[in-house]
Structures are given as C-alpha cells and as structure tokens.
Structure 1
Amino acid sequence: MNKITRVGIAGTGLIGKGLALEIEKQRELKLSKVLTRRDISTMSDYPFQVVLTNSTDDFIENCDLIVECSGDVIYGTEVIDKVIKASIPVITMNAELQVTTGSYFANRGFITEAEGDQPGCLASLHENVVEMGFKPLVYGNIKGFLKLDPNIEDMKYFSKKNGVRLDMTTSFTDGTKVQIEQALVANGLGAGIAVDGLLAPSSNDLNEAGEVLAEEANRLGHPICEFVLAPKAPPGVFITAEHDTRQKDALRYYKMGEGPYYTILQNYHLCHLEIMKTIKRVINGGGVLLNNGENPTVSVAAIAKRTLKPGEKIEKGIGSFQVRGEAVKIAENNGHVPIGLLVDAVMKREVAEGEIITFYDVELPESLALRAWYDTVGKKAVNI
C-alpha cells in the first residue's frame, strides 16, 4: 500500500508539462524522469529540471510506468517499442500514434490510451453506461468548428493565442484530429463507422442528433463512432444508447426523455488533469481503458487538400496544409497511406485534390512505425 510508483513522461509540451505538475502533488507517485528531444540547457522554464533526460535508456531504467504524450507518431513509436520490451506499462495521450501503431503494441505488451482526451473519455463513459444497463449505439464527439482547408495566417494566429503548436491547431481545425479520435474509439470499443469520413451532422441539439445517428447504427447493425458539429454545445463527449423497455417509465422520470434512444453527455474533457485517473487505474490493476485493438477495422487515410505534384515533400501529414485525415474502413480502402506515416515523405505521382494518397503515390522513409503498420494492418490492407 505504501509503494511509490515511479512515473516517467515522454513529452514536454502542454500535456506533458501539466501532467508533471499534477504528479508532483501525489504522495503515492514520484515524477522520476521526463524524456525530451529538446536541448535541456535551453529549458530553464521547465518546472522540474532535475528529471529531464535525452536518454531513452536512462528514462526506462528509472520508471515503473510511463506516459507517452509527445504528439509524434514516428518518435513515440520508437520510444514505446523500447519501453514495451522492458515490460513497463504504457499510457498514452497520443491518439495519432494509437491509430497508426497502437495495434502493433497491443499484441506485445500493456498499452492504453488515457482518460482526458475524447477517446479516453468516451471509453470511461462507455464503462459507466454499460454498468447501468444501457446498450451503446453512438459514440459521439462534439466539435465546435470545422474548416477542411484553413489558411496558414489564421492557424498561426490561433496557435499563438492558445499556446498550441501550429500543426496541432491545424489538425483540430481541418478535422484530422476528430477523425483520428473516432477511429481509435471504433477500433478500441468494437464499433465501426457509418461511412468513410463520418456523417458529421450539424446540430446544437445533441439529443436530436443522437437519435438520428442511433437510427443509422441500428440500420447498420452495429454501434458507430461519429462527431456532431455543434458550436453551442459543451466541449465533451456523449453516448446515445438503448435500454430495456421495462425501464422506460423510470428513465422518463429521471428526465432522460421518452426513448427509445437516450443520450448521456459528459460536458467536459480536461486532458492532462484526467490522466491521473488512468495512472491510478493501471497501478491498481484496472486494466486497459482503451487501445487500438489487435485487429483494427478503421484507419485514417491522408486526403490531398490540393493537387500534389511528383517530387513534392510532405514533412508531416498531420496538421499540414497539404493533406488532412479521414477515418476510413480498412477493408474498402486497399493501399491507403495512414496520415500518421506521412513524415518526410516524397510524392512519386500526382494526386488530385480530394483524392486518397496510396502507397503507389508516395515514397516513405524506413521507420519502425512503417514496419509496425505493415505487420498489423498492411498485410491485409496493402497490396503493392
């Protein structure tokens, strides 16, 4: 009961720094190491300089559990691979990594996404509503704004205003982030998607939108992951579900409406502040909250925002002004390139605006992330 768990954090951005502040307040936890690629001598603003390290080996040797929140698919995959090989449990707040290489690790060790970002919050809400006897039909994400091809001037303005990296700001705005999040939920909770790119209805009435989406889920015969564009709704998540008809009168009394569909809303997600719940869950043997599963059925393809020419370089697909991501059914999109793998990529063929980039179209540098994708998904989904 008195054991102190040494927690390491990979990443020193908004999430990693905020989490470090919270861990330091916990008596049963010790912030042991923080892994960063930055020059430590320039990080005088970091609150716990003594724990900073550039060495992955040093990081692993001093941790009982790690939280990966670098926001980088390629780098994060390399770090997690070493941590998993050392039999150390991994918590991520990195949905981008989970939908790209998470299944590779789900087959090899303990990895779970954290509560706090929308996927983890939906997984936690799922556990709650199922315990109450509900049958989930819609796993819903709430988005306040969407612009598929934002301009760089606006993105720089909001990046500076909010203190969030330019690429992250862009991926939030063009929908890539929410598509990634819902693909992860679909894979992790055994759901699916209704259509490639998601239906994404616009409505500030979540009950109404939930009912429409629940009807579609019933038509398809399986739960679906979706998002609703709702500028006036809170920044949270919801589940629309059915219940035993014998509970109809009670649910009406509890102000849940007439049924047959009931929408349960969590009206917040507090990112790094909620990671603490997952850390304690793992320490106490609570098991995986959510990961990409061992056999994913949904991926996030890269869609050209404009015509891409041979020889053009894509430094990083997620959050770029060249491509955006859309959740797609793996079985129906043979050869698509997951947007998380588009790093230092060079176009080999022209791809028109709105088209999916395939492995025929682009040259990708060798990486563990690329090999991991082929190992878990590519054997079924890539025929090149």
Structure 2
Amino acid sequence: MSGLNTKLRKLDEDNKHIRVAIVGAGLMGKGMVSQIMLVKGMIPSLVISHKISDAVEAYTLAGIKKDDVVVAKNLGEINRAMEQNKYVASDITEYASEPNLIDVVVDATGVPDVGAKLAMDAIFNKKHIILLNVEADVVVGPILNKIAKSAGVVYSGTAGDEPGAVKEIFDFAEATGFEVLAIGKGKNNPLDYEATPDSVREQALKYKLKPLRLASFIDGTNTMIEMAAMANATGFLPDIRGGHCPTTDVKSLPKVYSLKEEGGILNKYKIVDYALGIAPGVFVIVTTPMPQAHHEMQYLKMGPGPNYVLYRPYHLTSLETPISIAKAYFDNEPTIAPIFDKPVAEAITIAKRDLKKGERLDGIGEYTVLGSIETYEKAKEDNLLPIGLVNKNTIVKQDIKKGEFITYDMVELDKTTTIYKLRQLQEEM
C-alpha cells in the first residue's frame, strides 16, 4: 500500500493524474467522487448517471461549484471539457470509456446487464474496469476477466467491498504461509427473506439508499452474491446450499468454523460462509502444521488454536475504491477477480412469493425473486437459474411456489441482453 501511495504522490508532483470515469451516482458513487477528490494523483473527471442532477450533485457534495461542472451531451463536449481540465457530468452511459483522456472506468450501478456492457465497452476501448457490481461479476466475471487479460487491461472488483476485503486477508494469509480453512463475512442487516422495496423504503430513504438496494441486503441476496464472488476468486466453495449462517462472535469463529468432528459446523474445509453477530467485518480462518508457529500465535494472543481467525472489523465500500484504481493503473493487477474460466459458485434464484404462469419477474432486491448460493457444478446439474440473468422481461412459464428454486426451464429469459450473450459464450468456452 505504501508503494501505491508513493506512486500517487509522484504522479501528483509531476502534475499528472489518473483520470477516472464513474458510472452511477447513488450513495456509493457520490461517496467515491468525494473520496477521489482527496487522493493525490487522481481525478474523478467524468460522472455519469441516468439522472444528470445526481451526477452534478456528486461533484457539489465534493466541494466543486455547480458552475464549474460541464454538463455534456456528446463525446466531443466531454473530450473538450476534459482537455480543459473541467469536471464533466453526463447521463449517457455509453460515453464512460470513450473519452480520450479516461484511464479507468468504475461501475457503481449494481445493475447486472449495465455492468456487463460497461465492462465490455471499457475493455474494447483499452480502459481498466473496476466493478462495484458484484451482481454482474458472479454471472460473467470469468469471461470478462479473460477478455480483459487478452486486451492488456485490468478487470477487477473493488477494495472495500466484502469480497475485496476478504481477498486481501486471504492473500496475506497465503503469502505468510498459513493454510486457509474458511473465508467469510458478517451480515450487516437482520435477515428477512420477504423484504421488498416497500417494506424497507423508510429506512432506505433515511440512508439515501435505493429501496431495492437495501431490500437486496436484508433478504440475503447481496450476501449470497458476495460469497459467490469470494468463491470464484479463491476456489473455495459453499459448504451447504445457502450457507450455514451461525450466530456467533469474533472470538468464537475459529471453533465454529471447524469440522463437525472437531466440534464445529463444517462438513469440509476450504469453504465460504457468512455469520450473524460479527458485522460489518470479514474473516479468514487459518491454521499451520508448524508447532512453533502455533506457539507464537498463542503468545500473540490469537487464541488457543489449532484454528485462528484473521478478522477485519470494517470495510469502507466505495471509499476504498481508489486503491483498486491505483493498483490497476500502476501495477496492472486486480484487487479481486475470478481465477478460473468458469465460476466455482453460483448465485441462484428463489421465488420470493408464489408466481403465476405468464407473469414477469423483476430483479435483485425487488418483489419476485431472491438469491442463494450453490456450487457451480450442482447448480448446473440441477439447471438452476443465476439470479443475475433475471430482469423485467423474464416471463414465468409455469406456476412456481414461494421458496422454490427456479430453473432455466421454468422461465423464458431475455436473450437480447449483453449479460445473457456473455454467459452463453462463457458456458461454451
């Protein structure tokens, strides 16, 4: 990290900057713009939102006068404004990666198909792409990462989100020689499988968060998607469909995440899971075959062993994204990305309520579906539908009961989307 800081300071001293385009000006996008303003050697040159007022507000919240923000309606206006060192706002998503001076594109939308399109456009235009959009990553991350590598650019998830925070601890543990047994995260909200935008609206508006986004946190879908991203970046698997979700505290994590025959809950090691009672932190469970290393861990007050927890008690979501931007720009390295050509885990789809033949579904955090986690192989065997492929043009082909796992043959998917086409290519690889 100190190396990145040194490189950023040198860039700033040379009056040069990493120019960033940010798509999405909700809670996370606005926070990111403000934070990048404070980073030496980095500028949020372009902010794009379907509501242009949100893009402009992202700048004004960061201390930029409204009169100093250029609202651009075409690529020529964007390029001219950036050449004059102006801050630019737009409502045209397609322009994120096309400006000449943009170095890195960040997707802060959380919409699966938008994320797939943005990533493909960025790669085509030879820009690094950072996704806060794990919803897209768990569906088509492997093929996007493969295409990005071929193009010589970086495809990455973000530091600060739970998957990125877990991967940083995972890498630290493996680099120091520990054996990693389990990885996971705390769940930040009470679990309510029936949560909808209506039921969480008041709380969401209090935090200036989209109601469907908060609903996706509370109904567990976001957690399942994040665990799938962790799995795909490490090769670790869910121990059981949906995860164990024990209620525990940090001190008890090493015992809880041991094998059943050792007094824990696990059927096997090298798993991903989540727990109540330890939020907002993330954790990695490690052990070592070396008696002297055990002795030193116990001297260091890391617990009695043989398993130990490496716990980070916070994750700063989009406020940490500058780290991922800098790693991509300077080191050509992702914070977190899938390691295989196909997923190892899948975020699958469950009916949130009874569904009738002929009706349309909606999407993540809405009224008709929620997500769970399963191994990719089991999901493929059972023909289970990835939730990131569901949109408002998905039509139910038969009655489906509340709580039933939805398969491909139960619905007619929208096959015109970028994410669907990429998924098909990924499956054929």
**TM-score under structure 1 normalisation?**
0.91
Within 5 Å, give how 1:110-129 maps onto structure 2.
110-129=154-173
- The reply on whether 1:367 has 2:413 as its aligned counterpart is no
Residue number in structure 2 paired with 1:210 = 254
Equivalent-residue separation in structure 2 for 1:336 and 1:67 (angstroms): 30
Identity of aligned residues (%): 26
- The reply on whether 1:89 has 2:102 as its aligned counterpart is no
**How many residue pairs get matched?**
374
- The AA in structure 2 aligned to 1:54 is D
- SS of equivalent residue, structure 1 residue 45: helix
Are the counterparts in 1 of residues 237 and 345 from structure 2 also a CA contact under 8 Å?
yes
Q: Give the C-alpha shift of residue 165 in structure 1.
A: 0.7
C-alpha distance 155-240 of structure 1, shift in aligned 2 (>3 A) = same
Within 5 Å, give how 1:53-132 maps onto structure 2.
53-56=90-93, 58-60=95-97, 61=99, 62-109=101-148, 110-132=154-176
Residue number in structure 1 paired with 2:407 = 358
Equivalent-residue separation in structure 2 for 1:42 and 1:133 (angstroms): 46
C-alpha distance 27-257 of structure 1, shift in aligned 2 (>3 A) = closer
Equivalent-residue separation in structure 1 for 2:159 and 2:292 (angstroms): 33
Residue number in structure 2 paired with 1:242 = 287
Q: Give the C-alpha shift of residue 295 in structure 1.
A: 2.1
Residue number in structure 1 paired with 2:346 = 299
Q: Give the C-alpha shift of residue 267 in structure 1.
A: 0.3
User: Cα RMSD over matched residues?
Assistant: 2.1
Match of 1:10 among 20, 23, 45: 23
Equivalent-residue separation in structure 1 for 2:320 and 2:54 (angstroms): 29
Residue number in structure 2 paired with 1:224 = 271
- The reply on whether 1:47 has 2:59 as its aligned counterpart is yes
Residue number in structure 1 paired with 2:389 = 341
Residue number in structure 1 paired with 2:78 = none
- SS of equivalent residue, structure 1 residue 123: helix
Equivalent-residue separation in structure 1 for 2:321 and 2:403 (angstroms): 36
Residue number in structure 1 paired with 2:316 = 270
Are the counterparts in 1 of residues 155 and 334 from structure 2 also a CA contact under 8 Å?
yes
Q: Give the C-alpha shift of residue 220 in structure 1.
A: 5.5
Q: Give the C-alpha shift of residue 128 in structure 1.
A: 2.0
Structure 1: 5+ residue stretches without partners: none
C-alpha distance 198-41 of structure 1, shift in aligned 2 (>3 A) = closer
Equivalent-residue separation in structure 1 for 2:302 and 2:205 (angstroms): 41
C-alpha distance 81-43 of structure 1, shift in aligned 2 (>3 A) = closer
Equivalent-residue separation in structure 2 for 1:285 and 1:42 (angstroms): 32
- The AA in structure 2 aligned to 1:22 is Q
Are the counterparts in 2 of residues 137 and 218 from structure 1 also a CA contact under 8 Å?
no
Structure 2: 5+ residue stretches without partners: 1-10, 61-68, 71-87, 149-153
- SS of equivalent residue, structure 2 residue 96: helix
Residue number in structure 2 paired with 1:140 = 184
C-alpha distance 309-210 of structure 1, shift in aligned 2 (>3 A) = farther
- The AA in structure 1 aligned to 2:120 is D
- SS of equivalent residue, structure 2 residue 194: coil
Residue number in structure 1 paired with 2:300 = 254
Are the counterparts in 1 of residues 352 and 368 from structure 2 also a CA contact under 8 Å?
yes
Q: Give the C-alpha shift of residue 90 in structure 1.
A: 0.8
- The AA in structure 2 aligned to 1:184 is A
C-alpha distance 200-219 of structure 1, shift in aligned 2 (>3 A) = closer
- SS of equivalent residue, structure 1 residue 269: coil
C-alpha distance 126-43 of structure 1, shift in aligned 2 (>3 A) = closer
Equivalent-residue separation in structure 2 for 1:252 and 1:284 (angstroms): 38
Residue number in structure 1 paired with 2:211 = 166
Are the counterparts in 2 of residues 346 and 362 from structure 1 also a CA contact under 8 Å?
yes
Equivalent-residue separation in structure 2 for 1:46 and 1:296 (angstroms): 35
Which shifted more, 332-341 or 6-15? Answer: 332-341
- SS of equivalent residue, structure 2 residue 130: strand
Equivalent-residue separation in structure 1 for 2:406 and 2:384 (angstroms): 6
Match of 2:376 among 330, 340, 350: 330
Equivalent-residue separation in structure 1 for 2:182 and 2:332 (angstroms): 25
Equivalent-residue separation in structure 1 for 2:133 and 2:116 (angstroms): 10
Residue number in structure 1 paired with 2:81 = none
Equivalent-residue separation in structure 1 for 2:403 and 2:54 (angstroms): 42
- SS of equivalent residue, structure 1 residue 20: helix
- SS of equivalent residue, structure 2 residue 331: coil
Equivalent-residue separation in structure 2 for 1:18 and 1:161 (angstroms): 16
- SS of equivalent residue, structure 1 residue 170: helix
